[in-house]
């Protein structure tokens, strides 16, 4: 018999990115492990990109976008996209989840411990796939 697991999570909108002295300023997020989603919209309100990531804890992960180090390829790639979206009058909404469930084929639900990297990556990838299936312009490579 084939095994299967369904992953369930819900997004909580925590605010929008802003620019302060040319640097990204993030809304307050829980000081916990979790998954995050950036939703980029143009000045006209059209969705121009979605990026899904994970971090433990979330505030520290966001700090890397604010001041990317030379070896942080994702941060170096996304920072100018986020900054240019805001500079052009667009918006970047920030959503997070710090809770998720794994539901087995028999319907048994188990809470995922998002402090566990494998659980975070599972939810992150499921959220990325869901965005692609919805036809959203996903910025994840």
pLDDT tens string, the chain, 141 residues long: the values are: 568 999 999 999 999 999 999 899 999 999 999 999 999 999 999 999 999 999 999 999 999 999 898 999 999 999 999 999 999 999 999 999 999 999 999 999 999 999 999 999 999 999 999 999 999 999 999
Give the domain extent around 39.
5-133
> Which CATH number does the domain housing residue 57 bear?
3.40.1440
- In a domain? residue 138: no
User: Cβ atoms within 10 A of the Cβ of 116, count?
Assistant: 12
- In a domain? residue 140: no
Helix, strand, coil percent content, the chain, rounded in steps of 5 = 30, 35, 35
CA pair distance 54, 56, nearest whole angstrom: 7
> What's this model's pTM, rounded to 2 decimal places?
0.94
């Amino acid at each position: 018999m084939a095994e299967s697991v369904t992953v369930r999570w819900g997004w909580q909108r925590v605010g929008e990115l802003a620019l302060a002295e040319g640097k990204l300023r993030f809304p307050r997020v829980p000081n916990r492990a979790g998954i995050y989603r950036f939703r980029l919209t143009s000045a006209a309100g059209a969705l121009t990109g979605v990026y899904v990531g994970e971090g433990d804890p979330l505030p520290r992960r966001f700090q890397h976008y604010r001041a990317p180090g030379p070896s942080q390829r994702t941060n170096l790639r996304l920072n100018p996209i986020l900054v240019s979206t805001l500079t052009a009058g667009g918006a970047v909404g920030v959503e997070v989840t710090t809770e998720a469930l794994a539901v087995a084929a028999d319907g048994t639900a188990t809470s995922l411990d998002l402090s566990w990297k494998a659980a975070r990556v599972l939810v992150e990838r499921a959220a990325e796939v869901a965005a692609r299936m919805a036809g959203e312009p996903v910025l994840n490579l």
